[in-house]
Amino acid sequence: MTAHDKFSLEEKLRSVIETVDVANALIEPLTRSIENLLYISAGQMNSEEASVLIRDGSHGDLRFISAIGKVAHQLIDITVPAGKGVAGFVFSSGQPMVIADAGEEDSFYAEVDKQTGYSTQTLLATPLRHKGEVIGVLEYVNRIGDPPYESFTADEMDEAAVFAEAISSLVNAYESAKLFHDFTDQMLTADETTDFADVRKWLDELRSTSEHKEILDLAILVRELASRGEEERKMCRKVLESILEFADGKANTNYLSY
Amino acid sequence: MTEVSAYESNEYSSITTYFQIDESWKLRTGKGVEVAIIDSGIDADHPALLGKVKESVVARRQEKKVVFEPSDDGDSAGHGTACASIISRIAPDAEFYSIKVLGSGGSGDGQAFLAGLEYAIKKRYRIINLSLGTTRPQLFAPLHDLLDRAYQAGCIVVAAANNLPHPSFPSVFSSSLISVSKDDSTDPFDFGFRYGEVIELTAPGVNIKTAWLNKSYKQLTGNSFACPHIVGIIALLLETYPGLTPFHVKSALYAIAEENQKAKVKDAADQSDDNNETS
């Protein structure tokens, strides 16, 4: 590797790592936002449990990434094998559906219920899409109150499709952020003896530089401001754009004077 | 007697009667009509479907191609079995051909979906039940092409709409197939036709009792379950009038739905007269 190659590699990695840390800083509020939307929509749908499953790998498996309700914490990270259960079907077919009396005969839900101690009785599942691609499934399970539960209605299916639209964009952002997150993890946990060792050391050094910390702090600050409200977002944007304009102007002046 | 006339009629067009259908089709059973179901497979051992599934194939990836092999895998999700049972309730003697494209290969594999449709067209099954859809823009053109081929081959493709904010293919290709969305009606013969809408037909699709996995039954809601109701109706029509083309079938459905609508208006008027007399 020539010195020039190393330099350009370092430059590239530096920019990737900066993005990675920003992504890490973003991932937590994203899952919180998904959960919040689940709470709001489940209330609207008069549903006891709601969850989001996303694709896991490229073979059609699904994994719960967010859930609310009695057994929410037990669901997280359960994997649904490709095509199994209503969720698996909805994911692979892209067709939403309601099942009034899910349960024992469906081996997948029987298995999940066995693991969680929950009893799935009525279920609505609708696909999450991004740019025409199915990226996951949104599910609502059972009703608020005591069984027997009334089935979800056709109107609620339409309503769920609207919630799915909102949740899809968050899930897509989550997936992108997670991708970066996993990439760093892989880099940092690589075996000492592998070729990654150098990169790992370099990453540690990079993370400890004040410049990198400043960039990360700035990203967190912007995120914090953006979460306060629309007015704050607008103001923040204006301020940042003004700074950019100022910087551009300064650069142009330098260029002209040169 | 229902007259099947010009599909599009308004005050400026002359109405031509193409053919007439009598009510006898409603008494048929779909005997000998071949129905392909492109879905998650069919459980041929389900009591509701015993002896009705004539052939089952499954999509397998072979390098870059998708090939179809005979299969006794049954149904991986329950959905294909559900669709078959709805058709069978209306047309108990229809013959089912299961083309399994879902369940093993995962999502996003539009290739299996396309290959399944192509397989059914090559086999020239008279009716193809497609309770599936895709919103992937890259599948628009190849699906459109296949649908045209189906139309030319005389295969009647019936597709479920999705009820999502995005249009799904192929249900929006209204010229070459029959697209269906659900309503909360219960009588499969009392279906509706919405001329001028992208999704033209409406059929029962709310809380439909269907066969399901492990020889059970479920109550399901979705456009997926409206689609097989229309497939069942078409099977009865094709048994009665085997020579119908896809165009004829669509015109017949339109004419029957018009009659259904007229009967509803008449019933409502009679009801109103009765109420007036009573008061």
pLDDT tens readout for residues A6-49: 556 566 556 656 666 666 666 667 888 899 899 999 999 999 99
Distance to chain A for B253, nearest Cα, Å: 24
Q: What is the dihedral of CA A54, A57, A62, A64, to 10 degrees?
A: -60
Domains and CATH numbers, chain B: 23-278 (3.40.50.200)
pLDDT for the residue A177: 73
Contact A121, A147 (CB under 8 A): yes
**CA distance between the termini of chain B:** 36
Phi, psi of A66 (to 5 degrees): -150, 140
Give domain status of residue A67, yes or no.
Answer: yes
**Pairs of CB atoms within 8 A across A/B:** 147
A130 plus A17 within the same structural domain:
no
Distance CA B141, CA B175 (A): 14
Kindly give the residue spans of alpha helices, DSSP state H, lying in B123-226.
140-153
Q: What is the dihedral of CA A205, A207, A210, A215, to 10 degrees?
A: 150
Q: What DSSP element (H or E) covers B120?
A: helix B110-122
Write the residue in A59, A106, A154 that is nearest to B106 by C-beta. Answer: A59
pLDDT per position as a tens digit, A67-105 = 999 888 888 878 888 777 788 889 888 889 999 988 655
User: Cβ separation of A85 and B77 shorter than 8 Å?
Assistant: yes
Give domain status of residue A144, yes or no.
Answer: yes
Quote the tokens at residue A165.
Answer: 């639209």
Distance CA A217, CA B154 (A): 65
Write the residue in B39, B163, B168 that is nearest to A157 by C-beta. Answer: B163
Residue from B100, B136, B221 to probe the interface with A (highest A Cβ count within 10 Å)? B221
Check residues B268 and A47 and name the one with the higher pLDDT.
A47
- Structural domain harbouring A129: 28-174
Quote the tokens at residue A77.
Answer: 């990270």
Tell me if chain A has a CB within 8 Å of the CB of B110: no
pLDDT for the residue A179: 74
pLDDT of A245 > 90? The answer is no
Q: Which residue has the tokens 């920003």?
A: A22
* Interhelix angle B227-240/B79-90, nearest 10 degrees: 40
Boundary-marking domain end, from A116, A149, A174: A174
pLDDT of B4 > 80? The answer is no
pLDDT of A109 > 80? The answer is no
Q: Which of residues 54-73 of B touch A (CB under 8 A)?
A: none
Give domain status of residue A1, yes or no.
Answer: no
Boundary-marking domain end, from A151, A174, A197: A174
Contact B172, A132 (CB under 8 A): no
Residue from A63, A92, A129 to probe the interface with B (highest B Cβ count within 10 Å)? A92
User: Cβ separation of B106 and A83 shorter than 8 Å?
Assistant: yes
Boundary-marking domain end, from A121, A156, A174: A174
What residues of chain A lie within 8 A of the CB of B108, using their CB?
Answer: 55, 58, 60, 133-134
Domains in chain A: how many in total?
2
Nearest to B264 by CA among B180, B207, B158, B183: B183
- Average pLDDT, stretch B170-194? 87
ipTM value = 0.84
Contact B43, B75 (CB under 8 A): yes
Helix, strand, coil: what percent of chain A each, to 5? 60, 15, 20
Give domain status of residue A2, yes or no.
Answer: no
Write the residue in A100, A127, A131 that is nearest to B219 by C-beta. Answer: A100
A201 plus A101 within the same structural domain:
no
User: Cβ separation of A132 and B165 shorter than 8 Å?
Assistant: no
pLDDT per position as a tens digit, B188-207 = 999 999 888 888 899 999 99
Contact A87, A80 (CB under 8 A): yes
A185 plus A168 within the same structural domain:
no
Write the residue in A60, A98, A132 that is nearest to B137 by C-beta. Answer: A132
Look over chain A and give the mean of its residue pLDDT values, rounded to a whole number.
78
Contact A99, B220 (CB under 8 A): yes
pLDDT for the residue A257: 38
